[in-house]
Amino acid sequence: MTNKRFGSVEAGGTKFILAVADENFDIITESRVKTTSPTETLAECVKFFEDNPVDALGIGSFGPIDIIKSSPTYGSILATPKPGWEGVNMLHTFADALHVPIYFTTDVNSSAYGEFIAGNGQGSSSLVYITVGTGIGAGAIQDGQFIGGASHLEMGHLPAFKRADDDYTGFCPFHHDHCYEGLAAGPTIEGRTGKKGETIPRTDPVFDLISYYVGQLCFSTLVSLSPQKIIIGGSVITETELPAVRKYTSQFNNGYVAEPDWDKFIVATGVENNGSATVGNFALAKQVLEESNK
C-alpha cells in the first residue's frame, strides 16, 4: 500500500470539498467546487482528480442516495430537494472517468467513520454521528461497520414532539414541523427570526430551542441504538450549546435508562477543521482498494 494516493469527495448541497492524501492520510492538495448543475459541478470534480490522480476514491454525498450495490440505481441521488440532482448517478460519473475503486456512502457516514478512526470516536466500538446544518442527518457505526440495511439512516426525519412555546410551521418540505430537520436544521433559525443564524448571538433563545430538539433526537438515539458515544457536528450546534443539549437529553430520559456521563457521551467532533468526512473518505478509499486487490 506504500505510495498510494487516496481521494475524497465530500458532496454537499452548496459545495463539493475535494482532497487527495498520501497513505498516512496527510493531505497533498485540496479544492472546493460550488454545487451548481450536475454537469458543471461533476465535470470540475473529475478534472481535479484527472489532474491529481488517485488509486482509490471515497465519496460521501448529500442524500438520500442509493447505496445498495445490487440495485439498478446504485450510486444515484434519490428524491433530493436540490434542483436538478435527483436521479444523477454520481458514482458512475467518477468511475467511468477515473477507473479506480470507489467507496460510495452518505456524507454523515463518512463523517462518522472519520470520527471513529481519528476523532472523538476513537476507542469506541459504537457511535452515532449527528450533523446539524442545512439539514439534519446521522451515521451509525457498530463494531466498525455502518448500520443500515435496505438503505442508509434518515434520522433527521424521525418524528419529533414540538415544544409548547414553538409555533414554527416547519422547514422540511416532506414533514414540515413533524421531524427534527423541519424543526431544528439551520434554515429554521432564519425561518423563526428572519435573520441568518451566523448573525444571531448564541445567547438568543432560538438556540435553546434548537438544543431542545437536538437533545430530543439524542434521547431517541440513546434508546434506539444505544451507542457508546454521540458526536455532534455541523455549524448549528457548537460547544456553547452542548450543555443544553445534554440537559435536555437527560430530561427526556427522565431516569429511564442508566444515565451515562453526559459530558463524555455527547461530544463535539474531534477531527480538526471539520475534516471528519474527508478523513473518513480517505480511510474508506483505502478499504475499498484493499478489497479490490484481494
Q: How far apart are CA 182 and CA 193, in angstroms?
A: 15
- Overall domain count for the chain: 2
Q: Which residues does the chain have with pLDDT short of 70?
A: 1, 149-151
Same-domain pairing of 263 and 284: no
pLDDT at 80: 82
With CA atoms as reference, report the closest residue to 20 among 89, 100, 96. 100
Same-domain pairing of 46 and 160: no
Q: How far apart are CA 14 and CA 235, in angstroms?
A: 14
| Residue matched to cell numbers 477543521 | 273
Same-domain pairing of 257 and 135: yes
Strand partners, 139: 129
The pLDDT tens digits for 200-223 are 999 999 999 999 999 999 999 999
Same-domain pairing of 92 and 38: yes
Strand partners, 102: 57
With CA atoms as reference, report the closest residue to 155 among 222, 59, 73. 222
Q: What is the CATH number of the domain that holds 212?
A: 3.30.420.40
Whether 127 is covered by a domain: the verdict is yes
Count CB neighbours of 96 within 10 A: 10
Same-domain pairing of 137 and 261: yes
Whether 112 is covered by a domain: the verdict is no
Whether 190 is covered by a domain: the verdict is yes
Whether 1 is covered by a domain: the verdict is no
Same-domain pairing of 244 and 278: no
Residue 252 — φ and ψ, nearest 5°? -65, -35
Whether the Cβ atoms of residue 179 and residue 156 lie closer than 8 Å to each other: yes
Whether 62 is covered by a domain: the verdict is yes
pLDDT at 95: 97
Give SS3 for 156. helix
With CA atoms as reference, report the closest residue to 156 among 80, 234, 223, 217. 217
Count CB neighbours of 176 within 10 A: 13
The three cell numbers of residue 136 are 439534519
One-letter amino acid at 48 equals: F
Q: How far apart are CA 267 and CA 242, in angstroms?
A: 7
Same-domain pairing of 176 and 87: no
Strand partners, 185: none
pLDDT at 150: 57
Same-domain pairing of 80 and 16: yes
Strand partners, 159: 179
Give SS3 for 11. strand
pLDDT at 274: 82
With CA atoms as reference, report the closest residue to 88 among 98, 96, 79. 79
Instruction: Provide the domain limits for residue 160.
Output: 120-268
pLDDT at 244: 98
Same-domain pairing of 156 and 258: yes
Whether 153 is covered by a domain: the verdict is yes
With CA atoms as reference, report the closest residue to 281 among 66, 57, 65. 57
Whether 114 is covered by a domain: the verdict is no
Same-domain pairing of 166 and 142: yes
Whether 115 is covered by a domain: the verdict is no
Same-domain pairing of 38 and 129: no
Give SS3 for 116. helix
pLDDT at 107: 94
The pLDDT tens digits for 96-143 are 999 999 999 999 999 999 999 999 999 999 999 999 998 999 999 999
**Omega prior to 64 cis, within 30 of 0:** yes
Whether the Cβ atoms of residue 41 and residue 35 lie closer than 8 Å to each other: yes
Same-domain pairing of 282 and 263: no
pLDDT at 1: 53
What is the side-by-side order of every strand in the sheet holding 6-11? Answer: 27-34, 15-21, 6-11, 56-61, 102-106
CA torsion sign, 144 to 249 to 244 to 183? positive
